[in-house]
Structure 1
Amino acid sequence: MSAGTAARRPTTGASMTVVVGFLAFVELTSGVIQGFYTPLLTDVARHLGVHDADVNWLEGSQLMLSALVVPALAKLGDMVGHRRILLWSTAVTAAASLVLPFTDSFAVFLVAWALQGFYVVWLPLEIALVWLRTRDLPNRSAVTAKAAGVLVAALQAGAIAGALAGGALVDSFPLWVVLLVPALLVCACFVVVWLGVAETPDPVGGRLDTRGLVLISLALLAFTGGLSLLRLEGVASPVAWAAVAAGLLLLWPFVRAELRHDDPLIDVRMFRSPALAPVFLTAGLFGVSVLGAQAPLSTFARTDPAVYGYGLGTSGFQTSLLIGVYLIAMIVGALSFPRVAALVSPRLTLFVAALAVAVGFGLFLPLHDTYVQVATNMVIVGLGSGTLVAALPAAAAAAAPPTQTGVATGLTNSVKTVGGAIASCVFGIALLGAAGANAAESVTGTAGTLTGYMTVWVVCGGTALVAAVLLLVVPKEAFTDRGAHAPAA
């Protein structure tokens, strides 16, 4: 039997279960990376000899790099094989993670931390890998949706375990030993992918669109860099606004170049597809809440109501429990997505999930005075958010052209990241502006007045509601096996 024939052999349920099991370990590691370092940031700042505020550069650098690498790596996955790119990105993440425990230079730590952000492409590559390996199954959309739910559940479980482990270990061991734990876990990931995951069948080949890559990289770099400057220097900074404008203007030559290219980095025509366009817009709007609202929710919970008249006054442990409840709700939402989608439809499931996020943030407006109220709101938001995290890449894979599966799933991540970056900037300005009006708050370092937090909740609820409305215009059979190969507009 030839290699090509073997590649086309139908995928059985048992073999797909094994593959998803290996990929779930990868996503568990991704979750550990995202949760493990948060309790350590103060210790990291002391170790590197920098101010606490300087650790914000770590988040900004990794966010910027993730926006740059996902489009290129997703396209390379379609070209040369998703497993191969998964291995490459894991190797880079492992190498960067191994640098962190053994340096006391902030510059070196910053570069390594940014390169560690290559893990952001893992989930889009995995969804594309599952979708293409199930192409001979009659229910491939349902199988992909179920796999996506399992992978996102593993991701959130890893985030919970990582946060708990990081906080516990840093009190008992030297920092370099603690930082070595996630690095060794990523190394194990490389071995798992190498031994347990087969390559996707029939990569499309071709040459990478380097011109498109350069243009979109410059656009994203200028745009996200401008947003970072707006947070640091305020809305009066002409340099920050010039960078944001330059990033937006660079999209024009990028789109023109992609439309003329035979094999573009990103087929911009996908943004005109009646099935895909609402998914990308939903991802961007969803990024506002899932990436932009986490820090404000945490600082609101820590604010002392006896001093400022709002907040919960929680301890660090109580706040971590609140975040843990939210993440558990996300796990439930992710695992429930395939079952609910099978009962109704993926489109209606996405609509209900976006509506749950809108309702959850809307409830913050009247109900934010007690721990139980905030926890209840976060559970509702978490259920919707978990469903969307699992559903959006799977929906994009089902609606994408056959040669653009990796690109489509990667775009949901990139657009979500851009939405989160915009929200982070807007929320930072709103809360900082509010804090500036109250000298006492500025001195004690609280995030802002209640009006600032109300702004966050209104924006998050409003964007989620817009996303829900957008999903109503998606074709009824979108994201299903009947609509999987419908041509783009």
Structure 2
Amino acid sequence: MTRVRLGALAGVVGFLAFVEFTSGFLQGYYTPMLSDIARHLQVPDADVNWLEGSQLMLSALVVPVLAKLGDMIGHKRILLWSTAVTAAATLALPFADTFPLFLAAWTVQGVYVVWLPLEIALIWSRTAGRDGRSLLTARAAGLLVAALELGAISGALIGGRLIDGFPIFGVLLVPGVLVVTCFFVIMFGVGESSVKLGGRLDTVGLMLITFALLAFTGGLSLLRIEGVESPLAWGVVALGLLLFVPFGRWELRHPDPLIDVRLFRSPALAPVFVTAALFGMSVLGAQAPLSTFIRTDPATAGYGLGIGGFLTSLVIGVYLIAMVVGALAYPLVARWSTPRNALAAAALLVAIGYFMFLPFHTAYPHMIINMIVAGLGSGALVAALPAAAAAGAPDRLTGVATGLTNSTKTVGGAIASAIFGIALLHGVAGAAGADSGGSTAGSFTGYVIVWCVCGGSALAASAALRFVVPQRAFEDRRAVASDRSAPR
């Protein structure tokens, strides 16, 4: 059994780990202060939900474009540019004194979602010619995801501490300083990838995919606002889906497409994208409903735990720590078994964790145990999916393939977010109200739907990986070819 060591790769992985720590810090830092931000901007608490939705929409749009540009002109260059844009947007947040300005800066800040796909592409490029290339990349990805989750934990703890004792202007400046530091770490610590394809960006394809994604995600947002009885919302969703048809036809004819749609037909990559979409339903769609369920007062709503913000943050912290463990454990499990089986086991853990909520949801230890199980599987999948995409893609399309794992995960999260918003009848936005009087709490049936959708989507991904995907999928192509040519 081949042992894989990072060796000379350790230096660049260390610098990239700081980038992912910064990414996690951004994701965790603002969570404890969302209500304070709403008060600062003089808007209702419910309006902060637009912040999450706007970043999800942006990530679905920019990741394919920036990942393609990374393949064309250099992954480090695009990583550096995206960090500069993120720094500018993050530093603009303290000065945005109206909600529209804050929303615009917050949305642009979401460009950082492309960092992990670009980093995986950089690492894949640097492992060319080395034995155990896919496991090396997976191990590096596990370290990056561990840094990301540690950053999220640190950000949540620091943000929660600072917002209680300092003016919000100064508190909002802190992440900007960290992102600026990250920019110089990339500039001086990370080398460029060895393969740059050149060429011109497919602007027609970019416009077509932009219109399609805006219509689709906009329709999902309308479903959350207007409800399932709205013909306008369903019409916009259908329009978005129909617009993918001309986009696909254009990309098939284009000599250098923005997204090579043939990747979706690849037996090595299609299961990765399907798994990412199904996984996105839980990892991106379920966190807010779980938080509001825990905060809901059982005396007024008949369910929930009615606990405060600090104990709720501990549940989130335990979940993130479990993700760190899962991310670091995936390469070991993949080496002992196969990457396919390790991915299937990770998805199964996510399914088990969410299905455990059905019988076990009435006590604080239930929440801790359930989130640990789901977190172990989630961490492994976050680390493994970009690495699996890099292993299955042609070398010239590693950036595109790893970026598509993020895009499909985002689409899955957007779909789940719409389903959950409808099922809970806007209960997610009413967590504060639920604490005080329970009048805005979502229905318990809605939470059951959340757990079933998250568990069912993860179970479907696990079954597909275990019983549909070939045994040697996601392994080094050179190693697989060598095994096949060896005498029997």
| TM range, smaller chain | over 0.9
Q: Does 1:454 align with 2:442?
A: no
Whole-Å Cα distance in 2 between the matches of residues 362 and 202 of structure 1?
Answer: 44
Query: Residue 332 of structure 1 aligns with which residue?
Result: 325
Residue identity (%): 68
Task: Name the aligned partner's letter for residue 476 of structure 2.
Answer: D
Please give the secondary structure, in 2, of the residue aligned with 1:432. Answer: coil
Whole-Å Cα distance in 2 between the matches of residues 432 and 478 of structure 1?
Answer: 41
Gapped regions of structure 1 (runs ≥ 5)? 1-11
Which segment is superposed worse, 20-29 or 43-52? 43-52
Q: Does 1:477 align with 2:472?
A: yes
Please give the secondary structure, in 2, of the residue aligned with 1:27. Answer: helix
Residues 137-152 of structure 1 mapped to structure 2, 5 A cutoff = 137-152=130-145
Task: Name the aligned partner's letter for residue 414 of structure 2.
Answer: A
Whole-Å Cα distance in 2 between the matches of residues 483 and 313 of structure 1?
Answer: 55
Q: From 253, 258, 276, give the equivalent of 1:260.
A: 253
Task: Name the aligned partner's letter for residue 363 of structure 1.
Answer: M
Shift in Å, 1:445:
4.8
Whole-Å Cα distance in 1 between the matches of residues 216 and 31 of structure 2?
Answer: 26
Q: Does 1:276 align with 2:269?
A: yes
Whole-Å Cα distance in 1 between the matches of residues 387 and 182 of structure 2?
Answer: 23
Please give the secondary structure, in 2, of the residue aligned with 1:205. Answer: coil
Change (3 A) 1:155 1:48: same
Change (3 A) 1:452 1:114: same
Query: Residue 222 of structure 1 aligns with which residue?
Result: 215
Query: Residue 386 of structure 2 aligns with which residue?
Result: 393
Shift in Å, 1:195:
0.2
State the Cα deviation string for residues 272-327 of structure 1 (Å, max 9, x = none): 11111011000000000001110111111111122222111111111000111111
Task: Name the aligned partner's letter for residue 240 of structure 1.
Answer: A
Whole-Å Cα distance in 2 between the matches of residues 311 and 225 of structure 1?
Answer: 31
Shift in Å, 1:13:
4.2
Is the CA contact (8 Å cut-off) linking 2:58 and 2:110 kept in structure 1? Answer: yes
Q: From 283, 287, 302, give the equivalent of 1:290.
A: 283
Please give the secondary structure, in 1, of the residue aligned with 2:258. Answer: coil
Task: Name the aligned partner's letter for residue 272 of structure 1.
Answer: R
State the Cα deviation string for residues 148-200 of structure 1 (Å, max 9, x = none): 00000001111111011111001111111100110010000000000000000
Shift in Å, 1:14:
3.7
Q: From 82, 86, 92, give the equivalent of 2:85.
A: 92
Whole-Å Cα distance in 1 between the matches of residues 15 and 189 of structure 2?
Answer: 6
Gapped regions of structure 2 (runs ≥ 5)? 482-488
Change (3 A) 1:324 1:19: same
Shift in Å, 1:58:
1.4
Change (3 A) 1:402 1:43: same
Is the CA contact (8 Å cut-off) linking 2:251 and 2:258 kept in structure 1? Answer: yes
Whole-Å Cα distance in 2 between the matches of residues 56 and 361 of structure 1?
Answer: 23
Whole-Å Cα distance in 2 between the matches of residues 15 and 430 of structure 1?
Answer: 50
Change (3 A) 1:376 1:243: same
Change (3 A) 1:41 1:249: same
Query: Residue 22 of structure 1 aligns with which residue?
Result: 15
Q: Does 1:373 align with 2:373?
A: no
Shift in Å, 1:237:
2.2
Residues 23-38 of structure 1 mapped to structure 2, 5 A cutoff = 23-38=16-31
Whole-Å Cα distance in 2 between the matches of residues 147 and 443 of structure 1?
Answer: 48
Is the CA contact (8 Å cut-off) linking 1:296 and 1:447 kept in structure 2? Answer: no
Change (3 A) 1:37 1:445: farther
Root mean square deviation, CA, Å: 1.8
Task: Name the aligned partner's letter for residue 419 of structure 1.
Answer: G
Whole-Å Cα distance in 2 between the matches of residues 241 and 484 of structure 1?
Answer: 48
Task: Name the aligned partner's letter for residue 203 of structure 1.
Answer: K
Is the CA contact (8 Å cut-off) linking 2:301 and 2:441 kept in structure 1? Answer: no
Whole-Å Cα distance in 1 between the matches of residues 418 and 309 of structure 2?
Answer: 25
Query: Residue 246 of structure 1 aligns with which residue?
Result: 239
Query: Residue 484 of structure 2 aligns with which residue?
Result: none
Query: Residue 119 of structure 1 aligns with which residue?
Result: 112
Q: How many residues align?
A: 472
Query: Residue 64 of structure 1 aligns with which residue?
Result: 57
Shift in Å, 1:66:
1.0
Whole-Å Cα distance in 1 between the matches of residues 262 and 161 of structure 2?
Answer: 49
Is the CA contact (8 Å cut-off) linking 2:82 and 2:112 kept in structure 1? Answer: yes
Query: Residue 424 of structure 2 aligns with which residue?
Result: 431
Q: From 289, 313, 317, give the equivalent of 1:320.
A: 313
TM-score by length of 2: 0.94
Query: Residue 9 of structure 1 aligns with which residue?
Result: none
Q: Does 1:468 align with 2:462?
A: yes
Q: From 101, 117, 123, give the equivalent of 1:130.
A: 123
Whole-Å Cα distance in 2 between the matches of residues 219 and 231 of structure 1?
Answer: 19
Task: Name the aligned partner's letter for residue 59 of structure 1.
Answer: E
